[in-house]
Chains A and B, each alone.
Chain A
């Protein structure tokens, strides 16, 4: 009887830890998936798959191991999504490539300026912040997938180089290179738009 209660308490503690972890990471995970696939429903599906896998297979792991495991699962789920998309419809991928090429030609600030016209009554500072945020998110979405993965895990998820390398399945040197390139690309893109952080 005592042991049964103890097991129940252990399971409950583990469940609470998992719940807290997922609650803390879910929004960033959604954004990461959204940067990668650029589709809200697909991003939510990816987050769902990743969370399910974590809960089913690694739900009993210590809380400190969950971030690395979750990132690994999330990145693999995003890659699986890419593979499925590639297999199912090559022509759709080509079409979306043309669309994104059009987007690249457009000035993000112009787009945001157009969008901002509808937000009458907002404080000026908030508007500016949302514009900057939109530009940053757009630039991050444009990064090559591996650079984006490395950058977000390293700086947003606050993982160290070794953890990022383990999650990405590459060397620490590769992580440093990806992060450095991503940072320089983003810095150049923001500077070109006159944005300073």
Chain B
């Protein structure tokens, strides 16, 4: 095995002399090729840092604007929901107070449709209360 190694390395020493004897034209072309390759050289550190820099400087405003818009939309939706619920509560309170104050005509109590509507109103009020709890 050591003879093999010795022979292999001695053979390759001879090959080294061959590389030294490469003609000028080929050497120049190899130099050009190397320069072209180096011009394509990119470092991942540079890329990642450049990417981070891009985010911090160029894209940050865009991200912030998007985030603000989403927050405003969420706040608006929640506000509209609560405003709607508040309106309904006021309406129900008015009906309740009218009933309690006997301001509803007597005929209204024998009107089946009215009674059904009251029941429906009562149920929906109960469900609203349970959902708020």
Contacts and interface: CB of A to CB of B under 8 A. Distances in A.
Contacts of A26: 30, 33-34
Contacts, number: 114
Chain B CB within 10 Å — which of A31, A55, A137, A179 has the most? A55
Interface in A144-164: 151-152, 154-156
Interface string B33-55: 11011101111111001000000
Contacts of A23: 34
Interface band, chain A: 35 or more
B17 interface: yes
A22 B34 contact: yes
Contacts of A30: 19, 22, 26, 30
Nearest to B5: A155
B92 interface: no
Contacts of A156: 12, 15
B131 to A, nearest CB: 54
B57 to A, nearest CB: 12
A133 interface: yes
Interface residues of B, number: 33
Nearest to A154: B8
Nearest to B46: A11
A52 interface: yes
A interface secondary structure, majority: helix
A137 B26 CA distance: 17
A60 B14 contact: no
B19 A27 contact: yes
Interface of A: 3, 7, 10-11, 14-15, 18-19, 22-23, 26-28, 30-31, 40, 44, 47-48, 51-52, 54-56, 59-60, 129-130, 132-133, 136-137, 140, 151-152, 154-156, 179-180, 183, 186-187, 197
Given A15-B41, A187-B7, 17 more contacts: A11-B45, A19-B34, A23-B34, A30-B30, A31-B18, A31-B22, A52-B40, A55-B41, A55-B42, A59-B42, A129-B14, A133-B17, A133-B18, A136-B11, A156-B15, A180-B4, A197-B7
